[in-house]
Amino acid sequence: MSVIHLSPWDLMLAATTVLALAAISLRMQLGVTQTILIAAVRTVLQLGLIGLVLKLLFESLHPLWLVPLAMVMLAAAGREVMSRQKRRLRGLQGWLLGTGAMFVSSFLLTVFALTVVIGVEPWYKPQYAIPLLGMMLGNTMTGIAVGMDRLQNAVVDLRPQIEQRLMLGQTAADAIRPQLKEAARAGMIPMINAMAAAGIVSLPGMMTGQILAGSPPLEAVSYQILIMFIVSAGTGFGTLLALHWVAKSLFDERDRLRLDRLQ
């Protein structure tokens, strides 16, 4: 099956739809016109750059070439987690917690998928490693950002209830548990919805891309099922780990709630 190649003119035609959206938002004074345009420009620049980088990586199988790119992807994801939070831990702590949780969940599950499930030889083959890691980080980033934001806002808004539980003798872990559960649920709902709707409401991105590139539909489905399972697990584990670390950071060694650690 041949692949239809897209020309720059084709991409410019597609860009007119975003420009139309930006024009309508400007007319309606939604306040997001500049954000839309900046995001569109970033999409072109970032994807163009990563395309050039991947071209070079695909020509070299040495794992050391992958490490800098993986670290840049992780650091950028950590920054996005922090930028989406209304309230955040002061200093670098919030960035370190979110980034650390993504590192543990995304990297471990990516290696598991490459070595055990797919069985790529060598396991760090860029054609498989980079796209899989990117999908893992992208979805885990969203879950962690939503979960952390929900927990930190809830702790501030419901401070009296949490402190009442502490005065009644509950530990810090027990006092914050209701808010922790709600935050974890909020962080995992997008991936749960994506799994529930896949194939009926929507065709996921990787599957669509493979089909457009000429892969047999059933092979594309198999890879998409793998991705959905691995990404959902990574999002869930990363969200739970990040929320556990955030919850511990909001209390001192005497189980006192310390909202001064938030900004």
Sketch the domain layout of the chain as residue ranges: 1-59, 62-261
Which pLDDT belongs to residue 201? 65
What pLDDT does 182 receive?
Answer: 93
Which residue from 77, 76, 57 is spatially nearest to 124, judged by alpha carbons? 57
Buried b (16+ CB within 10 A) or exposed e, 169-200: eeebeebbeebbeebbebbbeebeebeeebee
* Residue 4's pLDDT band (cuts 50, 70, 90): low
131 neighbors 69 (Cβ within 8 angstroms): no
In whole angstroms, how far apart are CA 263 and each of 53, 142, 203, 256? Answer: 37, 21, 40, 18
Indicate the pTM of the whole model.
Answer: 0.79
- Does residue 237 surpass a pLDDT of 90? yes
pLDDT in tens, 63-77: 777 888 888 889 988
| 3-class DSSP assignment, residue 262 | strand
